[in-house]
A = this chain, B = another copy of it.
Amino acid sequence: MKDLSYTKPHEVRQMIRKGELERPTAGMCRGYAQGNLVILPKNLAYDFLLFTYRNRKACPVLEVTDMGDREFRQVAPGSDIAKDIPKYRVYKKGELLGEYREIQSFWREDFVSFLLGCSFTFESALMEAGIEVRHIQAGSNVPMYITNIACRPAGVFAGPTVVSMRPISNDKIVQAVQITSKYPSVHGAPIHIGNPGDIGIKDIHKPDFGDPVEIRPNEVPVFWACGVTPQAVAMKTKPEIIITHSPGHMFITDIRNHQLAE
Contacts and interface: CB of A to CB of B under 8 A. Distances in A.
Interface of A: 45-46, 49-50, 53-54, 61, 64, 66, 74, 152, 154-155, 181, 184, 262
A61 B181 CA distance: 20
Contacts of A262: 181, 184, 262
Contact of A46 (B46, B61, B74, B181): B46
Contact of A50 (B64, B155, B184): B64
Contact of A61 (B45, B53, B74, B154): B53
Contact of A53 (B49, B66, B154, B181): B49
Contacts of A46: 45-46, 49
A64 B66 CA distance: 21
B64 A53 contact: yes
Contacts of A45: 46
Chain B CB within 10 Å, residue with most, of A50, A181, A184: A50
Contacts of A152: 74
A103 to B, nearest CB: 23
A61 B154 CA distance: 15
Nearest to A188: B262
Contacts of A49: 46, 49-50, 53
Contacts of A50: 49, 64
3 A-B pairs closest in CB distance: A46-B46, A49-B49, A50-B64
7 contacts: A46-B49, A49-B49, A53-B61, A53-B64, A66-B155, A74-B152, A184-B262
Contacts of A54: 64
